[in-house]
Homo-oligomer: A and B are copies of this chain.
Amino acid sequence: MSIVLLAKNLGLSISTVSRALNGYDDVSAATRERVALRAKAIGYRPNPSARRLGAGKTSAIGVILPAASSTGQAVDSMYSSLLCGVVTEIEPAGYHLLASMQAKHDAAREAALYENFIRGGWVDALLIVRTRVHDARLELCRAAKIPFVTYGRTESDEPYAWVDTDNEKAFHLATTRLLDLGHRRIALINGPDEYYFAQLRRRGYLRALASRKLKPDPAWILHGDLTEGSGHELCRSLLIRSPAPTAFVCATDSMAIGAIAACREANLSIGTDVSVIGYGNSSLSAFCDPPLTTMEHQVFENGRYVGRALLQLLRKEIQPEEVHYLEPVVLVPRKSDGPAPQGG
Contact = CB atoms under 8 A, between A and B. Distances in A.
Given A80-B77, A100-B91, A283 B254 contact: yes
Contacts of A80: 65, 67, 72, 75-77, 79-80
Contacts of A56: 49
A98 B60 contact: yes
Interface in A178-215: none
Interface stretch (A137-145, A286-294, A325-333): A286-294
Nearest to A47: B121
Contact of A73 (B73, B100, B264, B300): B300
Interface in A237-274: 254, 257-258, 260-261, 264
A258 to B, nearest CB: 5
A166 interface: no
A136 interface: no
Contacts of A77: 75, 77, 80
Contacts of A287: 228-229, 232, 257-258, 260-261
Contact of A122 (B48, B67, B100, B261): B48
Given A72-B80, A80-B80, A284 B257 contact: yes
Contacts of A67: 80, 84
Nearest to A49: B52
A176 interface: no
A121 B229 contact: no
B261 A289 contact: yes
A45 interface: yes
Given A98-B97, A257-B288, A300-B71, A48 B120 contact: yes
Nearest to A115: B45
B254 A73 contact: no
A123 to B, nearest CB: 9
A317 to B, nearest CB: 24
Contact of A254 (B71, B260, B284): B284
Contacts of A79: 80
A35 interface: no
A81 interface: yes
Nearest to A81: B72
Contacts of A84: 65, 67, 72, 75, 101, 103
Interface string A281-308: 0011011110000000001110100000
Q: Which of A83, A87, A287 has the most CB of B within 10 A?
A: A287
Nearest to A228: B287
A320 interface: no
Interface of A: 45, 47-50, 52-53, 56, 58, 60, 65, 67, 71-77, 79-81, 83-85, 87-88, 91, 96-101, 103, 116, 119-122, 227-229, 232, 254, 257-258, 260-261, 264, 283-284, 286-289, 299-301, 303
21 contacts: A45-B120, A48-B120, A49-B52, A49-B53, A49-B56, A49-B58, A53-B53, A65-B84, A72-B80, A73-B81, A73-B283, A75-B77, A77-B80, A79-B80, A84-B103, A96-B100, A97-B98, A229-B283, A257-B287, A260-B289, A284-B284
